[in-house]
Amino acid sequence: MRRQTVPPAIRREVIRRWGNDCWLHLPGCTRVGEEDDHIVPWSHSGRDSVDNIRRACKHCNASRQDRVLSGYGPNMHVVMGPPGADLMGAAEPRLSRDSIVVSHADLMRALCPEGLYPAPPAALRAAAGSAWDAAYRRLAKSRAPVDVWLLRTLPMSRTHPRMLDEWVALDYDIRVIDPGADYVFDRARLDADALRVARQWYALHLTQDAVDARLAARRAELVRLGLRSAEAAASNRIEW
Ligand SMILES: [Zn+2]
């Protein structure tokens, strides 16, 4: 258990200034602040200060697992799209020497070389998924201000069905790369797996505009909570 050491006077001031609603809004949020949540986590030497604490519900505090708001450690980018979308091609011009890329497709290729496994066994596919998830969660708690690029198709997994909601809550830079359903289904027609994922993808009706609208709403909330300044949020965004 994390020790709760926040002095009552600081907690009172946090609630007076920022309110007692849960600030995180992760999937499953109960909305009511029940715990003191450190914006810069304890594990990163985050302080017990009015600036560094917001109220969070128990559920969000636990499911955040020390992942930080994008920019409070690593800058988090997500590039997603249906099977056949060139996610790496979209990210590449924006990568710097120090960028870290966590690509689901590359992990799949590493674990299931095509020549070796024309139809990768389910266990290996699951292993690639777990490797992606572990790398993501580890990097999302990083203390260093590195650029992390997450590349994958569906913004969900069996264990984390609402990943996109988590990314919006934590204010990630999110890009949707969709070459169009005609292209995607034509390319996937001989690959049962790709077809299944393409169907799942288009059932989500994900568009850049819809994602941008959600991110804008979330950022307005973060500005109100004193966690973003409107200008800084705009200026340290990557150009797409
Ligand atoms: Zn919550």
Ordered per-residue pLDDT tens for the chain, 240 residues = 455 579 999 999 999 999 999 999 999 999 999 999 999 988 888 899 999 999 999 999 999 999 999 999 999 999 999 999 999 999 999 999 999 999 999 999 999 887 777 778 889 889 999 999 999 999 999 989 999 999 999 999 989 999 999 999 999 999 999 999 999 999 999 888 899 999 999 999 999 999 999 999 999 999 999 999 877 655 567 788
DSSP character for 238?
Answer: P
Q: Report H helices in the chain.
A: 8-18, 58-64, 87-91, 104-111, 122-139, 163-169, 181-188, 192-203, 208-224, 230-235
* Confidence (pTM): 0.93
Give distance in angstroms: CA of 45 to centre of ligand 1.
23
Angstrom distance (rounded) from CA 232 to CA 235: 5
- For 75-214, give the CATH class: alpha beta
Tokens at residue 6, please?
């926040």
All residues with CB under 5 Å from ion ligand 1: 22, 24, 29, 57, 60
Give distance in angstroms: CA of 88 to centre of ligand 1.
33
List where CATH 3.40.50 sits in the chain: 75-214
Give distance in angstroms: CA of 130 to centre of ligand 1.
25
